[in-house]
Structure 1
Amino acid sequence: MSGVVPTAPEQPTDEVENQVKSPDPRPDAPPDYNSHLVLGPPGPAIPPSAGHAGSLPMGLYSPPQPHNLPLYQPAGGTHPIQYQPGKYPMPNQPVPVTWMPAPGHMPNCPPGLEYLTQLDIIHVLQHFEPLEMMTSFETNNRYDIKNNLDQMVYVVTEDTDDYTRNAYRTLRPFVLRVTDYMGREIMTMQRPFRCSCCCFCCPSTRQELEVQCPPGVTIGFVAEHWNLCRAVYSIQNEKKENVMRVRGPCSTYGCGSDSVFEVKSLDGTTDTGSIIRKWNGLLSAMSDADHFEIQFPLDLDVKMKAMIFGACFLIDFMYFERSPTRRSSR
C-alpha cells in the first residue's frame, strides 16, 4: 500500500460546476470585474481645492464633476426638449429653432398654406439690424413668422438690390419671399414702384401689393385708398374685386400703445380680423424691428388669410419702416 498515492475525495459534477460559476444566481449576470482589479503604485498627493465638499483617499483620481449641467425637465413641460440626452450646449452655441409640425396635404389649398388653416393668430417678428443704425445703410428686411407656441411657421426675406433700397428707402419696390421649414418658396409678395410726388388722390400714387401663391400664381392684391385722416386698404381677389377692407387708426404711429388696423367686411358690419403693431417700448422708438400680431377667424378662407398676412407687410413699409438718418456731408 506504500505505492498508492492518496487522492482527494471525488465530488459530484454539479458541485464542481457550482464552485466555478459566479455566486450570483441571476441569469446572464455581469462578471465581477472587481476580482481582477490590481492597484498600481500610489500617485502624488494633491490636496482638495478650496470649497470642495469631499475628497477621495490619497493617490486615487477624482473625475471632474459636471456642476453646470442643465436641469431636467419633465416630458409634460411647456417647453419641448431640444437637445439629445448627454449633449449639453456650450455658452455661445445657438439655440436650435423649433418649427411647427408640417400638416398634411389639403384639397383646394395652395401648397404651403396648410399651416394657415390651423392658425387664427400669427406673429410677425422683424429682425433687428444694428448695421442700419450705425452706418445708415439700408439692408434687406427679414421676418420670423411664429404661432402662439413660439414655433416657427415661415421665414420672410426681402430680395431687393442695394441701389434700390438706399435710393428709394421706404418707397422702394420690393419682393418678399416666404419660405417654409425646408427652405422652399411657397409665397411671393411684390410691391411696384409708385411715385408720391403727384396729388395724393391720383390713382397712380396709391400703393399696391400683389400676393402670389405658389410663386407665379396671383391670388389677390392689397390696394391703398386715399383718405384724409387714416390708412384705408382694400383686399382684393385675383380679379381685383374688393373682398374686405382694412381700416387703420387716425394716428398710425402710436407712441406708448399698440396700433390696431381692423379688417372688416365691405359694408363694415362684420369684423374679419385685425393687424396689430405691438408697442415694444424703447426698441420700437429707436429701431424698425417691429412686432405684428395678425388675428383672423379659424374658418376663414385660407387665401384671404394669406391676403391679410400680405397686407401686414405693406402697412409695415408704409408707416413703420423708418429710414436711417442720412449723415450730413458737412
Structure 2
Amino acid sequence: MENQIKSPTAAPAAPPDYNSHFVPGKNTGSAGPAVTPSAGLSVGYYVPQQPGTTPLYQPTGGTHAIQYQPGKYPVTQHAPVMWMPGPAPIPNCPPGLEYLAQLDNIHVLQHFEPLEWMTGYETNNRYDIKNNADQMVYIVTEDTDDFTRNAYRNLRPFVLRVTDCLGREIMTMQRPFRCTCCCFCCPCARQELEVQCPPGVTIGFVAEHWNLCRATYSIQNQKKENVMRVRGPCTTYGCGSDSVFEVNSLDGGSDIGSIIRKWNGFLSTMGNADHFEIHFPMDLDVKMKAMIFGSCFLIDFMYFESTPPRRSSL
C-alpha cells in the first residue's frame, strides 16, 4: 500500500499570510461573480475538509424551519437543531446575506472547548449565530494551523469561514498578522479585519485606531473609506457587567447599533465561551450589517480571547 503519511514540516519563522486558504478579495463595489450550480454544492463555496465540521444537509423546502436529528450537529446536543427558514433571493444582495436583511439583532455564541482549558492547547474557535427565536442562522469556524494558534495565541492571524445550513461558505473574514513589538500608536501595529462576501470579493474592512483610554475602530467600505465607527468602553473587560461597543455615524451624531459582550459568569469566562449580542437597524444596508457582524470577531480576539494556561510537565 502506498504510504500516505506526510512527514511533519519545520515550524515557520513567521506566521503565514494564509494566501493558500482563500482567494484574494477584489476591491469592487459589485456583489461578486455569479455563482453557477453544479453537482453537489455550488461553485465557489468552501467545503470543510474534516467530516462533521459543518452539516451538509438539503433544505426541506417551503418556508418552514429546517430541523435536524440529534447527533447530526458538530456539538453533541440532546435537542434537534432548528435553522432559520431560508429567505428568498434579494436583488443586489450577496448570496447568503438575505438572512441578515430580515434581522435587526443576532447572537454570537462561542463553543466551549474542554480540551483547550484542560491542556492549554489552543484549538480553532467555533461560533453559533442565532436569532431571537433561538434558530441557527450561520456557523462560524476558524481555519488556522496548529503552530500559528499555539505560538501566537490571541495575536494570531486567522481566517474565519461563515457557512449556512447547506455548508456553503457565504462569507470569509481574514485578520493579517500585525507586529505588536512596535509602538502601539504606529499604524503597522494596528489590527485590521477584511470581510469578503462572497469569498473572494471584498466588501469592507474593520480598522483599529489608536486611542488612549478606549477601543476605537472604523468600519470601511471596499475602497477603505470610513463609513461608521465603533467605540468601546473605557474598561473593555467588565467583570460582572456587560461590555457595550457602540456603533455610531462618523460625526458621532447618531447611534446606528451596538455590539454587546454579555456577562455570563466566571465559568463562561474561564472556558472562553463568549456571548455577543449585535443590534443594528432593520433597514440598514445588508453589507453594513455584515461589517458590524465582522467587527464582533475582531473585538472578541483582541479583548476577550483569554489564553488558556499552559500545563508544564514535571
Same fold (TM over 0.5): yes
TM-aligned CA distance change 1:93 to 1:123, over 3 Å: closer
Output one character per residue of 1:108-133: Cα deviation in whole Å (capped at 9) or x when no partner.
Answer: 10000000000001000000000011
SS of aligned partner of 1:115: helix
- The residue that corresponds to 2:297 in the other structure is 313
Offset, 1:191? 0.2
Question: How many residues are aligned here?
Answer: 244
- Using the aligned pairs only, state the percent identity: 83
Once residues 126 and 198 of structure 1 are traced to their aligned partners in structure 2, the CA distance between those partners, rounded to angstroms, is 31
Once residues 96 and 317 of structure 1 are traced to their aligned partners in structure 2, the CA distance between those partners, rounded to angstroms, is 30
Q: Relative to structure 2, which stretch is displaced further, 254-263 or 280-289?
A: 280-289
Residue identity in the other structure for 1:270: S
2:185 to 198, 201, 213: 201
Q: How does 1:34-53 map to 2 (within 5 A)?
A: none
1:107 to 91, 95, 116: 91
Output one character per residue of 1:205-250: Cα deviation in whole Å (capped at 9) or x when no partner.
Answer: 0000000000000000000001111000000000000000000000
1:210 and 2:173 aligned: no
- The residue that corresponds to 2:268 in the other structure is 284
- The residue that corresponds to 1:242 in the other structure is 226
- The residue that corresponds to 2:242 in the other structure is 258
TM-aligned CA distance change 1:231 to 1:81, over 3 Å: closer
Offset, 1:286? 1.6
1:188 to 172, 195, 198: 172
In our comparison, the structure showing a higher alpha carbon Rg is 1
Once residues 88 and 102 of structure 2 are traced to their aligned partners in structure 1, the CA distance between those partners, rounded to angstroms, is 11
Question: TM-score, length-normalised on structure 2?
Answer: 0.75
- The residue that corresponds to 2:23 in the other structure is none
SS of aligned partner of 2:82: coil
TM-aligned CA distance change 1:241 to 1:122, over 3 Å: same
Once residues 289 and 82 of structure 1 are traced to their aligned partners in structure 2, the CA distance between those partners, rounded to angstroms, is 25
- Structure 1 unaligned regions, length at least 5: 1-79, 85-91
2:284 to 289, 300, 310: 300
Once residues 213 and 98 of structure 1 are traced to their aligned partners in structure 2, the CA distance between those partners, rounded to angstroms, is 24
- The residue that corresponds to 1:95 in the other structure is 79
2:131 to 147, 172, 176: 147
- The residue that corresponds to 2:102 in the other structure is 118
Residue identity in the other structure for 1:208: E
Once residues 108 and 68 of structure 2 are traced to their aligned partners in structure 1, the CA distance between those partners, rounded to angstroms, is 26
Once residues 83 and 191 of structure 1 are traced to their aligned partners in structure 2, the CA distance between those partners, rounded to angstroms, is 33
Offset, 1:259? 0.2
